[in-house]
Amino acid sequence: MHDGRYHEKRTRNILMSTPRQPRETRAGLEPLAVLPVFVPLQDKRAVLAGSNGGAPWKVKLLAAAGARVDVYAEEPSEELRGVPAEIAAGSVTLHERRWTPDDLRGAAFAIGAMEDEEDCIAFVAAARAAGAIVNAVDRPHLCDVKFGAIVNRSPLVVGISTEGAAPVFGQTVRARIEAMLPRGFKHWVAAARDWREAVSARFHGFSERRGFWERFTDRAFAEPDRAPTEADLADLLGQTEALPMGGAVTLVGAGPGDAELLTLKALRALRNADVILYDDLVAPEILDYARREARTMLVGKTGHGPSCRQDDINALMVSLAKSGKQVVRLKSGDPLVFGRAGEEIEACEAAGIPCTIVPGVSAAQGAAAALGVSLTHRDAARRLQFVTGHDRRGALPEDLNWGALADKSVTTIVYMPKRTLRALLERAVAEGLAPETPALVVFNATRAKQATVAGTAADLAGRIEASDLEGPALLMVGEALRRHNARGAEQSVEIRAEAS
Active site residues: 279, 301
Phi/psi-derived region of residue 339, left when phi > 0, alpha when psi is between -120 and 50, beta in every other case: alpha
Q: Which amino acid is at 203?
A: F
194-201, Cβ contacts within 8 angstroms, sequence gap of 24 or more: 195/233, 198/233, 199/237
Q: Which residues pair with 135 in a beta bridge?
A: 111
176 vs 131: CA distance, rounded Å: 37
**DSSP single-letter state for residue 396:** P
487 vs 475: CA distance, rounded Å: 18
DSSP structure string for 139-176: -GGG-SS---EEEEETTEEEEE--TTS-HHHHHHHHHH
Handedness of CA 367, 373, 378, 379 (dihedral sign): negative
Q: Which amino acid is at 10?
A: R
Phi/psi-derived region of residue 488, left when phi > 0, alpha when psi is between -120 and 50, beta in every other case: alpha
Could you tell me which of 307, 314, 301 has the C-alpha nearest to residue 251?
314
Those residues whose C-beta lies under 8 Å from the C-beta of residue 90, and which sit 6 or more positions away, are: 41, 62, 63, 64, 65, 66, 67, 68, 69
Q: Is 280 exposed, middle or buried (0-12, 13-18, 19+ CB in 10 A)?
A: middle
Those residues whose C-beta lies under 8 Å from the C-beta of residue 290, and which sit 6 or more positions away, are: 27, 270, 271, 273, 276, 296, 328
- In the chain, what is the straight-line distance between the N-terminal and C-terminal CA atoms, in Å? 45
Could you tell me which of 315, 359, 318, 353 has the C-alpha nearest to residue 339?
359
Angle, CA 260 vertex, CA 183 and CA 376 arms, to 5°: 125
- CA-to-CA separations, 30 to 35, 120, 165, 178, 283, in angstroms, rounded: 12, 34, 18, 25, 17
**DSSP single-letter state for residue 452:** E
Bond preceding residue 335 cis, omega within 30 of 0: no
477 in helix, strand or coil? strand
